[in-house]
A and B are shown apart, each in its own frame.
Chain A
Amino acid sequence: MTRPPVRPPRKNPILRTRLPTLPPAARSRVALGLTAAAARGRFELQVCRDCGTVQYPPREACRACLSPRLDWRVQDGNGELVAETTLRHSHELFFRERMPWRLGLIKLDSGPLVVAHLHGDCGSPPARVRVRAHLDRAGQAALLALPDKDTPHMADDRELRELTCDPKFRKVLVTDAKTPLGQALVEGLAGAGADLVWAGAAEPWKKPPGFERVKALPQVAIVPLDLTDSRAVKELAGEIGGRVDILINNADHHRNFGIAARDGVETARAEMDINYFGLLRLAQEFAPAMRARGADGPSSAVAWVNVLSVFALSNFPPHGTYSASKAAALSLSQCLRAELAPAGVRVINVFPGPIDDEWNQTLPPPKIAPARLAADIVTALRGGAEDVFPGDVAQDWLERWRDNPKALERELAAMPKQ
């Protein structure tokens, strides 16, 4: 059984900080289908449209009937562990630094045989297991076999923790702790065992309801942070940048205008200044230290979370300039993801539907409650995905967008403002 977690000792400052290494990242293009699904937290395998055979490893044609029509379909992952080994020797630095490493050979109930990382709580073969797909530190899908029933302290398994960004024992910066979402995030992270939460606060003369409660939490340190202020971002990075393990960028500027409804560019520029340039400023100042700390002990730098919007995928005209700023941020986050990849730091993009806040006041329900969104973000950190669509609306829009982006464009254009 996984042992109850023990707080890692403090870092020995006279030892060199270990440089990040990665598990093997090369994959064939067709195998990236597994990664595409894992990025959304799903375990999918190719299923032959013609004969129904489930395929693995990923391939170009059905192994049973040679049909090229292979569709990625969600799998339950249930199967039997038929053989296991514990590696004591590896050809790759990443694993050499983490030996021993347990692996399993699993016969899925759906047919294929898979090699997977093996959770420490899985029994000896033959044993029932659940296979999941997580992104590994290289950002590629990796299969992981979990015991068929949850066990205590399961999330603290050493191999699993290499595939997640669990906030437990980590230090987290929340860039805007004043909003309802920011407050819920700070409280959620404190509850999830974060060592320290730096709570960013701009415009000190504004004291929103609830903020005093957040300030009073023992794990919380309020830090001045206004993403429009390059010097302030640089200054804060100078102070705490070398210790941030998880950065959650939830700072957001949201106004409800399209093009015709608002003269001038002042609001649009303010949206860009926080939603896009704010991310850029943060990334320039905080990413370098995080890149250097991708292997800094058991509580290394692991994740960067951007709270975007499902409007980043397709413009919602009543919130047109906001949508554009979030699309810009999405594009930039992909650049950030590529630049953090060598350190194994995961960039998680969160695409909520409308949040139940003042700027979506007139949008009809369903809307996602800030507390629910914060909980989903904490869950995402504990999981293996990098693109998260919390709530029913975001899931619905994602499905529409994946099905037919042009149709969604028309549907969004036809949606009434109210």
Chain B
Amino acid sequence: MTRSRAAYDDVVVAVPVTVPYVRYSIRGAHWFLAAALAALIKRAGLGKDQIDGLCVSSFTLAPDTAVGLTQHLGLTLRWLDHIPMGGACGIVALRRAARAVQSGDAEMVACIAGDTNHTHSFRLNLATFSQFARDAVYPYGAGGANASFAFLTAYYMRVYGATREDFGKLCVAQRANALQFPHALMKKPLTLDAYLNARLIADPLRLYDCVMPCAGAEAFLVLRRAAAEELGLPYARILATIERHNAFPDDPVQYRGGWALDRDELYAQAGVGPKDIDVLAAYDDYPVITLMQLEDLGFCDKGGGPDFVRRESFTAAGSFPLNTSGGQLSVGQAGAAGGFLGLVEIIRQVTRKPLGAAVDNARLGLASGFGMINYDRGLCSGAAILAADQ
């Protein structure tokens, strides 16, 4: 038997920050990260010098890393991390920062993620995303993640009988959530009809299956419960977290993620089960991956995703509140900030400070991350269960 993992004791997460998203920006990534940090310390009532730990995620910071950012932003730190894990970076940043605070290596860790989006930067990022992508994916049509997820979606539909209407139901519900979220880039309602008849991008994906790249940033603060209370900050407790990289490498097509390996441990550490979760933030760059998380995180069986979607409703007021800020599909994908979006929303929901639609009596929230299509599949997965203070 593996040794059971230590709990996070009185380490908490607070101060969810969103730097409003824009489709394109002439600013650099540093601008968005600085804005996130500035908002974070202002809302926390901290001086910059009180931040002693920093965790950074960004795709467009090059040639800098988190190291360069310390000088750029005038930070003197005793703990620093850089997490290049895309859609999983929020969960992983939380894990790293929580253990640092718990062990005393740092007191106040600012976790920030953000990217700019120039009119050409998305293409450049795709072309050089990874060695395998550059060698073995991008030269084949240069479709980017659309092509990769088209394969996964087509395969999932063929094997598990999911329909376009199933994916559409999720997208339409998320758009409804987004209409109440002030920072969402998508401001118009989405009908199932519009979803089904949108222009084809990469069969079977159509326009509203695909996230829109944009610029923006997200942040949160990891600190001791006592410190949060002293600062008067609402906080969420960290019940359990998992991460996994390159799970199931021999699956011919990615029909399951690393969560399937680790979910039992996740729920065991939290001492709760899937039925106890009040709100879920699933990583949603394409709707197929949301269905996969519903299955792999135990909300239904493998292959039960389509039925689950048909059975439940997904707005904040629905039977299964999901991606209550609108998710990336309706808010936008601000690069690495996309890996923070769901986690930040869960902090807001369980601290009862949502910017948009509120989930009634949200005590337990689960945020899930998924990222880095290095070649044919996403390699990083992670999840965290946060609980309201009590």
Contact = CB atoms under 8 A, between A and B. Distances in A.
Direct contact of A and B (CB under 8 A): yes
Interface of A: 23-28, 31, 34, 56-58, 63, 82-92, 94-95, 101, 103, 105, 107, 113-117, 125, 136, 138, 140, 142-143
Q: Kindly name the residue among B136, B203, B249 whose own CB sees the greatest number of chain A CB atoms within 10 A.
A: B136
Contacts of B139: 23-25, 27, 136, 138, 140, 142
A26 B193 CA distance: 41
B199 A24 contact: no
Interface stretch (B27-35, B119-127, B257-265): B119-127
Given A58-B136, A125-B154, A142-B139, 8 more contacts: A57-B135, A83-B151, A83-B253, A87-B147, A87-B202, A91-B144, A107-B252, A113-B376
A57 B127 CA distance: 16
A103 B135 contact: no
A374 B122 CA distance: 47
Contacts of B127: 24, 26, 91
A103 B148 CA distance: 10
B59 to A, nearest CB: 15
Contact of A113 (B141, B142, B202, B252): B252
A24 B137 CA distance: 10
Nearest to B137: A115
Contacts of A94: 142
Contact of B126 (A57, A91, A117): A91
B123 to A, nearest CB: 4
A116 B136 CA distance: 9
Interface string B200-214: 111111000000000
Contacts of B158: 83, 125
A115 B127 CA distance: 15
Nearest to B130: A57
B314 to A, nearest CB: 26
Q: Which of B141, B158, B252 has the most CB of A within 10 A?
A: B141
A142 B147 CA distance: 16
A95 B135 contact: no
Contacts of A26: 127-128, 134
B141 A103 contact: yes
Contacts of B253: 82-83, 105, 113
A412 B183 CA distance: 75
Nearest to B200: A88
Contacts of B8: none
Given A57-B375, A83-B152, A103-B143, A88 B201 contact: yes
> Could you tell me the dominant secondary structure of chain B's interface residues?
mixed
Contact of B202 (A56, A86, A105): A86
A91 B136 contact: no
B150 interface: yes
Given A24-B127, A82-B155, A116 B202 contact: no
Contacts of B201: 87-89
5 contacts: A24-B142, A58-B136, A88-B201, A88-B203, A95-B141
A23 B142 contact: yes
Contacts of A83: 150-152, 154-155, 158, 253
A28 B136 CA distance: 10
A89 B143 contact: yes
Given A27-B135, A82-B155, A105-B253, A87 B128 contact: no
B330 interface: no
Contacts of B138: 24
Nearest to B150: A85
Contact of A85 (B126, B134, B202): B202
Contacts of B197: none
A107 to B, nearest CB: 4
A95 B202 contact: no
Given A90-B141, A103-B143, A28 B134 contact: yes
B146 interface: yes
B155 A90 contact: no
A95 B151 CA distance: 18
A143 B140 CA distance: 9
Nearest to A60: B131
Nearest to B134: A26
A387 B199 CA distance: 43
B160 interface: no
Interface in B86-142: 122-123, 126-128, 131-132, 134-142
Given A24-B127, A105-B376, A91 B140 contact: no
A22 to B, nearest CB: 10
A136 B140 CA distance: 10
Given A91-B143, A113-B252, A115-B137, A86 B203 contact: yes
